[in-house]
Structure 1
Amino acid sequence: MTTDYLNQDWDAVIIGTGMGGGTIGRVLATGGWRVLFIEKGPSGHRSERQALHSHVFTPDARALRGFWPTPLRAKIDNRESEFFAPIGAGVGGSSAFYAATLERPERHDMDDHPHAEWPISFDTMQPWYDEAEKMFHVCGAPDPLSAEPMPELLPPPALDPSDDALMGEMRAIGLHPYRLHSAIRYVENCHDCLGSKCPKPCKMDGRSAGVEPALATGNAFVLDDAEVVDLKRDGRTITEITLCRSGVEYRLSPKRVILAGGALGSAHILLKSDIANSSGLVGRNLMFHLNEMFALWPKKKVLGDATSKAISLRDLYHQDATRFGTVQSMGIGAGYGEILHYLRLMLTRSALSRVPLIMDLARIPAAVAVKMLGSAKVLVGLLEDYGYPENRVIFDPARPEQLSIEYVLAPELKARRRAFRKAIRRAFRGHRKMFLSMQPELNFGHPCGTLRFGTEAETSVLDPNCKAHDHDNLWVVDSSFMPTSFGVNPSLTIAANAIRVGHHLLKEARS
């Protein structure tokens, strides 16, 4: 069956089925192209409900659930550790587990950014953001602080009473909250699917909004459980993809290769294959967001859903020429299970991870925290990260299949973090609040920037249409292309860019 797929003449071979790969696959298949998706993980059962857990340790068990099977090896501020990052490996990729937050960046994020240049303008991206919001059925309300034309969003569901009360309190102290932009279609009898695979057609992600509509055209097919081992080139052309499936190696001669394995995975493949790296920038300029999680106690206790994810505000996004980011509902409650989960994640990434029985001992502070937090809402500030060449994906020949990174928290990032925490304290004056992390907490679900695009081959890996400068038949459409991380979730930008590049390819083929 595998050779049947590989012997066919595909217009495009897409490596990865997440937010970028699934989306561009839909665009191309709808445009009449024959598309082959290659996915590292399984297709999975459409009826399964599965959360992305870090406490499943066996590679086979993780792979079966659609999790990335091996731990991320990270050297952060010169301290080495290994942990399971929130990365998916199945149809839909990480987006199958995401919280479905699709927020637009702001004009100054692209047109006037002081730390990196975007080769396309905010106005160029606007229509593609519109298209992505329609494709992903984004609901919500406009940001009252935005000077841009209001996006045509679907109406959100009725607001939870506790969130309604909290938004009223925020407005009373001069803040400007709005309904979070979310890729959720609210269907009857649907339970919360944020952060989990959903068996119902509720959450729009790389699988439900991308791969499945692509397959429905009859022009696209998925080859799952297929690990890309190598890419080979002849001059400016990628001539061969080597992949491994069920222990057997296969080779495919592609017409076009579209890489969409995520900012870590795509850079890893190119480094391993020694492809597209004449600039020496493959894997470099790695960015995340810093999470500033905090508990906020409403002034008036109103019964409601503590795990709802409905509020966003940008009052602190760009304050006094300092770039911070959005503040959003976290979508988790302040219950024992959630606190224990995040406490264990923090311990896994700290020097305490080597202490015997530390994961069991975490139950004690978790229980204490539940008593302290009570009816608090958990919010998160997403602090923008900047790209630095020393922050990078690395390839270790001794561990060829393991994702590895090196990252140093820049002094300016630490200073902005301190200023962001002070700004949060000031913004929520009059409310009881408590930060839930003491050390900087990288958001490993938001990696980006490792194959940035630009106009010059010496300073970027991809051209403005996300084609590799070094090769004529290689494109990248995941978060790797981004020169800056913004202060919002990257998912909408990934999808919008994938639609843009897909339409460019269709137009190029017709000309």
Structure 2
Amino acid sequence: MAEIATMTWDVIVIGTGIGGGSVGRRLTELGLKVLFLEKGPDLGDAKVPGLAIDQTDPESRMAVGAWPKQISARLDGKWCEIDGMIGSNVGGTSAFYAATLERPERHDLDNAEHLPHPTGGWPVGFEEMRPWFEMAERYYEISGESDPLDPVPANLPAPPRALPKSDIDLMADLVRSGMHPYQTHMAARFVPGCENCFGRRCHRRCKMDGRSAGVLPAMESGRATLIDRCNVSRIEADATGVQSLICNRDGETVTLKAHRYVLAGGGLGSPSLMLRSRNEYWPEGLGNRNDMVGRNLMFHLSEIIAIWAGRGRGEPVASRSISMRDLYFMNGERLGTVQSMGLTAGYGEILHVLHNRFDTSALRKLRPLRVGLRLPARIATTMLGHAKLFVGVLEDLPYATNRLVPDPTDEDRFVFHYDISDELRRRRAIFREKMRAAFRPHKALFMAATPQLNFAHPCGTLRYGDDPASSVLDRDCRVHGLDNLYVTDSSFMPTSNGVNPSLTIAANALRVADRIAESMRPRLAAAESLG
């Protein structure tokens, strides 16, 4: 660590998830020397247990790659503690993701006229982003089928996968009912047993994530160095640029320097670090002269529905195979994608849903009736068998009042305020109605009655744009007012779109890497002429 602290790196990347791993790999391919800093451990290819649902001990959480503290949130005015599935390990949250990487739609990036209020939109349009989407699909070895509704289908680098009979039958049913299903775009090298790693950490590198598709190839180039268990406590900056990072590792405090810095700590971690890095030049926090850092927090709403496709048509298999975008944008409403989750539902899951509905009903005080729900759950399972679970990814939209509010006494404690807007509730009702209609005539059951935010998808807290008054980053994702600090995680997104954000994060990180390399070419050319 002491030797590393004496060096001035080309680029230091803070965070090793999708955004950090992708930008670091691309920078090394462009000839730059990169230092990766990761707060959590490098778990390598070790097989580690999953996070216990009631685990709150910071050291125990970090040992399995999870963020050390749960999240404190004020949701619709009520305080609660939640586990947002935020990763803290080499690979970040992507170590646990479901590896579903899909492009947003053209209208997502090209205009903002369907939003409830002006946002400034996306300064970089779909066509400009297309080469980076294609590059990200190659980096992450995406397999699947083209969306039949896409006027310019993606040319995926990996061939489609073999599907179980139950999925083939259900896709045929959806086509007959007028839907347009296709094979989900997945970032994985499929080997026997790898289907079990989606939604959990993979120790065999079959799932392509920030580590396997980003950090490891960068390290293999010989131009990258990784320091794990390294906490960046502060970014030191003057009026125009970052001077250094203050980091702690194993009780030792060091100062690290580079020509360029990339912040990729996630939609909650990156704005938290910027707000903590106050000084005389930036009394409200880095990039926060217009009080925009941490605002416009978005997630996605997850609408989970169980579908019974009928017995005798192939036993339901837990596979993430089917996607459809028929409901993505309907009659001017921004809705989202519907995808199979790779999970099945039986007696226990049905009983859980019935209990939840009972507990929010007018009968909830009549507790003996709750026990009687076991019978209808058992009858439903006997008659219908196991169901496939599908999730609707409903787009969330930005509101300045939904924001990160860091705990000044605990840098590991993320705190945010979030209120579900009336327009989101209205779109949710439309989405649920359309989802149920899409699967007719099959039996269906929504798995929750109340809105379910996907806390693993925080985004928008450092939005990029052309106007510094309404954005934190410029179109190159460089912080307004700081000439050498860039951001490549989900916080850059002006809107959340109706798909998982991972591919968009990766594509943007690759784009930003090229911008950083372009800005450093004069310095690199001078160094080459001297040596």
TM-score range, shorter chain: over 0.9
Q: Does 1:283 align with 2:294?
A: yes
* Aligned-partner Cα distance in 2 for 1:480–1:214: 23
Shift, 1:255, TM fit: 2.0
Q: What is the DSSP-based 3-state SS (H/G/I as helix, E as strand, rest coil) of the residue aligned with 1:415?
A: helix
1:197 to 190, 198, 201: 201
Q: What is the DSSP-based 3-state SS (H/G/I as helix, E as strand, rest coil) of the residue aligned with 1:235?
A: coil
Shift, 1:85, TM fit: 1.3
Judging changes above 3 Å, is the alpha-carbon distance between structure 1 residues 509 and 339 closer, same or farther for their aligned structure 2 residues? farther
Corresponding residue for residue 3 of structure 1: 2
Corresponding residue for residue 357 of structure 1: none
Q: What is the DSSP-based 3-state SS (H/G/I as helix, E as strand, rest coil) of the residue aligned with 1:470?
A: coil
Corresponding residue for residue 258 of structure 1: 262
Corresponding residue for residue 334 of structure 2: 323
Give 5+ residue unaligned stretches, structure 1. 352-361
Contact (CA 8 Å) 2:396, 2:424: kept in 1 or not?
A: yes
* Cα distance per residue 1:16-47 (max 9 Å; x no partner): 00000000000111222111111010001313
For the pair shown, the structure with the greater C-alpha radius of gyration is 2
Corresponding residue for residue 166 of structure 2: 162
Matches within 5 A, 1:63-462: 63-114=62-113, 115=115, 116=119, 117-188=121-192, 190=194, 192-273=196-277, 274-335=285-346, 372=380, 374-462=385-473
The TM-score with structure 1 as length reference comes to 0.92
Q: Which amino acid aligns with 1:390?
A: T
* Aligned-partner Cα distance in 2 for 1:364–1:48: 41
Give 5+ residue unaligned stretches, structure 2. 278-284, 361-369, 523-531
Contact (CA 8 Å) 2:264, 2:489: kept in 1 or not?
A: yes
* Aligned-partner Cα distance in 2 for 1:363–1:465: 58
Judging changes above 3 Å, is the alpha-carbon distance between structure 1 residues 55 and 363 closer, same or farther for their aligned structure 2 residues? farther
Q: Does 1:502 align with 2:491?
A: no
Contact (CA 8 Å) 1:334, 1:370: kept in 2 or not?
A: no
Q: Which amino acid aligns with 1:377?
A: K
Corresponding residue for residue 490 of structure 2: 479
* Aligned-partner Cα distance in 2 for 1:332–1:61: 27
Shift, 1:368, TM fit: 7.3
Q: Which amino acid aligns with 1:470?
A: G
Shift, 1:425, TM fit: 1.9
* Aligned-partner Cα distance in 1 for 2:222–2:354: 46
Q: Which amino acid aligns with 1:451?
A: L
C-alpha RMSD of matched pairs (Å)? 2.6
* Count of residues in correspondence between the two structures: 500
Judging changes above 3 Å, is the alpha-carbon distance between structure 1 residues 490 and 190 closer, same or farther for their aligned structure 2 residues? closer
The TM-score with structure 2 as length reference comes to 0.89
Q: Which amino acid aligns with 1:380?
A: V
Judging changes above 3 Å, is the alpha-carbon distance between structure 1 residues 59 and 428 closer, same or farther for their aligned structure 2 residues? same
Q: Which amino acid aligns with 2:215?
A: V
* Cα distance per residue 1:192-244 (max 9 Å; x no partner): 21112212231111000000000001111111111111111111111121112
Judging changes above 3 Å, is the alpha-carbon distance between structure 1 residues 413 and 5 closer, same or farther for their aligned structure 2 residues? same
Any runs of at least 4 consecutive aligned residues in structure 1 with deviations exceeding 6 A, and if so which? 336-344, 362-368
